[in-house]
Amino acid sequence: MILAQFIQFGLPLALLLIMFSIGLKLQAGAFVRILRAPRALFAGLTAQMLLVPLSALALVVLLEPGFAVAMGLIILSLSPGGITSNLFSYLARGDVALSVSLTLVASLITPFSLPLLTGWALSVLGGEGRQIDFPVLSSILRLLVITLLPLLAAMALQRYRPALARRLTGPAGVCATLLFATVIAAMLAMRWSMLPQLWRDNGVPVVLMLLLSFSVGWLIAAVCGLQARARRTIMIESGLQNGAMALVITDTVLAAPAMSSLVIFYGIAMLIPALIVVARGRYEAA
C-alpha cells in the first residue's frame, strides 16, 4: 500500500520536475541554427510523432498481442523524447540543440495528442464487449499541468531570473532523475516476483519495438542526408521514449499494471541500444 501511494504521488511529481529541468536548459539563441535549417527538426519530428507510432501499430497488427500489451506499445509510442534522450544525445556527441528542440516541440504537442490518440486506440482495440471510458479532457488537463506549465515556468524563470535558473539547473535535473529512478524501482519491487512472466508477455514486442524505433530514426536521418551528429540524435530521440509520461496514462489514469509493466520493461531495455549509440558516437568523435 505504501509503495502504491508513493508511486501515485511520485510519478506525476517526477514528470513535473523533468519538464521543469528541461525548461531551465532551453536557450533561445541555441536554436537559431535549427530554425534556419529545419530539415533535421522535421526529420526528427516525423520519426518521433509519425513513424514510431506507425511502427507500434504495425507490431500490434502483425503480432496480435493481448489487449494490455497492444495498448502499452501504442501509449509508449505516443510518448516521445524527454530528459533521458537529451542526456544520451549529449553523451553520444550528438546535436544537443536539436535534441532539446525536438523535446520542446514534442512537449507542446504530446499533452493533446497522447490522450486523444489513446482514447481512439482504446475504442478500436477495446472490442469484445469492453466498455472503457477514457477521460480525454481531464487527461489533457492533467498533462498540461504536469508537463507544459512547468516547462513554461522554467523558461520564464530563465528569462527574468537567469542567475537563479542557472543555480537550479543542476539540482533540478538530479532531483528529477533520482525521483523517477526511485519510482521505477518501486514499480519493479511491486512486480519483482512477476519478472519471468513479464519477459514472456513483453519480451518479443519490446525487442521488436526497440529495433524498429531506432531503425526508423536512422533511416529518415540517412534519407534526409543529415550529418552523423544529427543522425545519432534522431536515432536516440526515436528510440528513447518518455516512460514517465506513458506511465501517467497507464498507471495513474487507466490504473492498468499490465500496461505499465511493458512501459517499465521497455524503459530498462532501451538503455542497451542507447549505450551502443553512445559508444559508437564517442568512438567516431575521438
Express each pLDDT in 66-83 by its tens digit.
Answer: 888 898 999 999 988 766
Give the pLDDT confidence score for residue 160 in this predicted structure.
Answer: 85
| C-beta of residue 239 within 8 angstroms of C-beta of residue 270 | yes
For the chain, counts of helices (H) and of strands (E): 15, 0
pLDDT of residue 209: 93
Tell me the DSSP string of 233-257.
HHHHHHHSB-HHHHHIIIIIIS--H
Mean pLDDT of 45-56: 92
* Stronger pLDDT, 119 or 55, i.e. the higher one: 55
Alpha-carbon dihedral angle through residues 150, 156, 161, 163, given to the nearest 10 degrees: 60
Residue range 217-228: mean pLDDT, rounded: 90
Residue 256, C-alpha cell as written in the block: 492498468
The CA–CA distances, whole Å, from 162 to 16, 27, 144, 155, 165 equal 20, 11, 24, 10, 5
Identify the residue with better confidence: 168 or 216.
Answer: 216
3-state secondary structure of 130: coil
* DSSP-derived 3-state class of residue 19: helix
What is the domain class of 2-285 according to CATH? mainly alpha
What does each C-alpha distance from 16 to 23, 72, 148, 221 come to in angstroms? 11, 22, 9, 30
pLDDT at residue 246 tops 80:
yes
Residues 6+ apart with CB under 8 A from 19: 107, 146, 147, 148, 150, 151, 154
Strand partners, 80: 241
- Mean pLDDT, the chain, as a whole number? 81
Give the pLDDT of residue 208: 93
Residue 52 confidence (pLDDT): 93
Extract the runs of DSSP E, i.e. beta strands, from 42-180.
Answer: none
Q: Which of 200, 242, 286 is nearest to 75 (CA)?
A: 242
Residue 80 backbone phi and psi in degrees, to 5:
-80, 155
Q: Are 226 and 43 a contacting pair, CB within 8 Å?
A: yes
Contact of 74 with 56, CB cutoff 8 Å: yes
At position 100, the amino acid (one-letter code) is V
C-alpha span between 163 and 122 (Å, rounded): 46
Could you tell me if 237 and 81 are in contact, meaning their C-beta atoms sit under 8 angstroms apart? yes
Please report the sign of the dihedral spanned by the C-alpha atoms of residue 217, residue 142, residue 267, residue 206.
negative
Mention every residue, 6+ apart, whose C-beta is less than 8 A from residue 154. 19, 20, 21, 22, 23, 24, 26, 165, 172
Task: Encode pLDDT of 106-129 as tens digits.
Answer: 877 888 888 888 888 888 886 544
User: Does position 149 have pLDDT exceeding 80, yes or no?
Assistant: yes
Query: Domain-by-domain residue ranges, the chain?
Result: 2-285
